[in-house]
Amino acid sequence: MADLNIPSINKKPDKYLFKNKLTLRRKSKKRLLTEAFYMLISCFLLVYLNYLIPNKSFIFINFLSNVKKLFFVMFDLFSNLYQILLVIFILISLVFAVILFLGSLYRILKVLNRKSSQIKYK
């Protein structure tokens, strides 16, 4: 009984797992400025790339019509979901039935061959 390790109820678990592993140093002003310039350059690059895209208004209008068409197609899909699932069930059940049929024929032939071979040896 002395070897039994019972955990202490009063022992508090470590609430902060990475408490001592965080770096709490501040970034230098030079590093902050370089990061700010990188962010600014990235921002201007993205705005310029968007400026180069032609016919933005047509693209947005076309996008909205495509979203409407997508909802209609999704509605048709869900309305025909019963038939789709029924066809999938029929195909899977036919494959399973063929496997069972072939397995039963194999066992019947195996049993018949065993009896005929036992009769020959007697």
pTM above 0.95, yes or no: no
Q: CA–CA separation, 109 vs 115, rounded Å?
A: 10
**Is the distance from CB of 53 to CB of 59 less than 8 angstroms?**
yes
**Domain edges within the chain:** 26-79, 81-122
Q: Which pLDDT score, from 0 to 100, does residue 8 have?
A: 63
pLDDT in tens, 12-69: 555 666 666 666 678 888 989 999 999 999 999 999 999 999 998 899 899 989 999 9
The upper half-sphere exposure of residue 37, i.e. CA atoms within 13 Å in the direction of its Cβ, equals 6
